[in-house]
Structure 1
């Protein structure tokens, strides 16, 4: 998997820097082209000459050491890389990257690269568990960084606990597994709906809901990382999409979303409807602002077309996944909904639980397939929940083929 891959290995200032020597050697033996960037403090543990001998390449230590006048070194290296590995990653470098600080060769390169970044933290157990370190790691994870969890055991500081740099063989294995997963959907087309809809009353007012679109956008990002060509149909949200593998289509109303989803549905292999679409809309839409009148106001509402049920009736080869955001008996309702709407799977979440409501950065869900097998996905960032959902979808699709 690593043959001829261009890998930038960032080594930071921790005692675990000595393990990076073995990692460099094993990456080179695996056929990778390895360029090393060392922080100033890393050089206090291992000399650059050691890494130069192991990688057979010069070692970068200084942002302002420009060896080729026609190129800017950290930009050239950032563009060259197929992937970047930071091992060991100290609390300091995690904080810098999470807060956009670029004050050395490593951080400037990382902020400039478009390559996948793999982070292998190593530090004292209490540092690792500190809330600010955990928050910085969550931030980077939500940006799409891949973490290789540290091991637990006796640490150089004398403490026993989590914080020991994972072994070089395990780091390489984790990278290879991810690269393999990344290519799983390279020939797949995925259609995802996200966010709320707005149902217009007049030029000033509308009905909507609290959906932020974060869950659907996380699903789109993770599907793109798996190699899929993604179409994201989103209601009005403030979120941005930068991934070139994601085609974004913005809509406003339930009617708009229905039209786009029906148009795109036949072109796709996997369809995930995570949007919170309005069930009702005003029967009359006024061209002019409704003036305030004495007394109460009654607005007559009519049903919108059920998008998921419509797609379920039209389904041919597509793997169709729905979402059910509930507060009362969510599992029972989810199973009923999945059968009624001809779904291959449904993702159920109890929005009454702490950390699982609209607008949250986290979620916890139950994935239920068409055989009514339940898989609990515990509280985690929406990016991690999205990854787990897609892994379940991939598993069920393989079972269907068998």
Structure 2
């Protein structure tokens, strides 16, 4: 007699299938633009569904979402503007939602894909909105303790890898890049970050040093001529969730969407 399968089991199976490394490999050449959209531990994470919905006007855009454990705490169904993490799967254009537990979910064996590497290969661009003070510190320090920081740490900062994936990365920078062994210009895929934190955190000397690293040492530069791979969207001044008024709030989410559309060449 066949054992019945609960809807919960079906949902888990479907999610595991959509989030598998095999699904990423299969989608490499689907003729769509690929956006990795990530959120880290800031209250501005509640803007993530709005960003996704606004981008849904582009049918040729495929979105895969990365969430840190702290970001997930802001998406637990607390209110209408804070849906559950699982509900993100149902949003338009979302083809995967990844959390730390998805990395190494199954025992690895030689020949299997590695999730954070396959995500990097799949992506045309990574956008982290919001970028918390904690995650920024990890990125600048080179830590790779979760799915998001592992993707960032494994990013092709010199445009030397993934030349065999069969797709030309959209929005990649060629300024300052050398040619590869075949004489083709290296293309460096971009990481866009939108910091969001308390005013005291934003004005802290360590934040100043970290932003300098992202903007000057690793930055794409004005007009993309810097040869780097990071673009920083400076925060705005407003009344923060903690009650303080000052700078540190994430750039207005509608402006973040416009920048994504511009960098990826998305048109209505």
Q: Under a length normalisation based on structure 1, what TM-score does the superposition of the two structures give?
A: 0.42
Residue 150 to residue 53, structure 1, CA distance change in 2 (3 Å): same
Distance in 1, matches of 2:210 and 2:114, equals 29
Distance in 2, matches of 1:51 and 1:67, equals 27
Distance in 1, matches of 2:104 and 2:116, equals 9
Kept in 2: contact 1:21–1:50 (CA 8 A): no
Corresponding residue of 2:235: 150
Corresponding residue of 1:337: none
Residue 36 to residue 99, structure 1, CA distance change in 2 (3 Å): same
Per-residue Cα deviation, 1:228-258 (whole angstroms, up to 9, x for no partner):
xxxxxxxxxxxxxxxxxxxxxxxxxxxxxxx
Kept in 2: contact 1:19–1:167 (CA 8 A): no
Distance in 1, matches of 2:71 and 2:262, equals 28
Report the aligned-residue RMSD. 2.1
* 19-28 vs 50-59, which moves further: 50-59
Instruction: Tell me how many residue pairs correspond in the alignment.
Output: 178
Q: Give the CA deviation at 1:131.
A: 0.9
Corresponding residue of 1:129: 203
Structure possessing the higher relative contact order (Cα contacts under 8 Å, 6 or more residues apart): 2
1:16 aligns with 2:44: yes
1:111-126 maps to which residues of 2 (within 5 A)? 111-114=153-156, 115-126=189-200
Corresponding residue of 2:105: 65
Residue 67 to residue 140, structure 1, CA distance change in 2 (3 Å): farther
Per-residue Cα deviation, 1:73-96 (whole angstroms, up to 9, x for no partner):
110001110000001100001000
Q: Secondary structure at the match of 2:251?
A: coil
Q: Give the CA deviation at 1:50.
A: 2.7
Distance in 2, matches of 1:76 and 1:37, equals 13
Corresponding residue of 1:7: 35
Kept in 2: contact 1:117–1:146 (CA 8 A): yes
Per-residue Cα deviation, 1:101-140 (whole angstroms, up to 9, x for no partner):
0000000011112321000011111111111012111112
Q: Give the CA deviation at 1:65.
A: 2.5
Residue 119 to residue 66, structure 1, CA distance change in 2 (3 Å): farther
Distance in 2, matches of 1:49 and 1:137, equals 33
Kept in 2: contact 1:38–1:61 (CA 8 A): yes
Q: Give the CA deviation at 1:28.
A: 3.0
Corresponding residue of 2:130: 88
Distance in 1, matches of 2:104 and 2:134, equals 21
Residue 176 to residue 68, structure 1, CA distance change in 2 (3 Å): farther
Kept in 2: contact 1:91–1:127 (CA 8 A): yes
Residue 156 to residue 35, structure 1, CA distance change in 2 (3 Å): same
Corresponding residue of 1:162: 247
Distance in 2, matches of 1:53 and 1:98, equals 33
Q: Give the CA deviation at 1:167.
A: 2.3
Q: Any runs of at least 4 consecutive aligned residues in structure 1 with deviations exceeding 6 A, and if so which?
A: none
Q: Under a length normalisation based on structure 2, what TM-score does the superposition of the two structures give?
A: 0.62
Corresponding residue of 1:45: 74
In structure 1, runs of 5+ residues without a counterpart are 181-402
Kept in 1: contact 2:65–2:94 (CA 8 A): no
1:139 aligns with 2:139: no
> Match for 1:26 among 45, 54, 60?
54
Structure number having the greater strand percentage: 1
* 161-170 vs 9-18, which moves further: 161-170
Kept in 2: contact 1:27–1:34 (CA 8 A): no
Q: Secondary structure at the match of 1:84?
A: strand
In structure 2, runs of 5+ residues without a counterpart are 1-30, 76-83, 157-188, 220-229
Who wins on radius of gyration, i.e. which is larger? 1
Kept in 2: contact 1:66–1:72 (CA 8 A): no
Distance in 2, matches of 1:40 and 1:84, equals 18
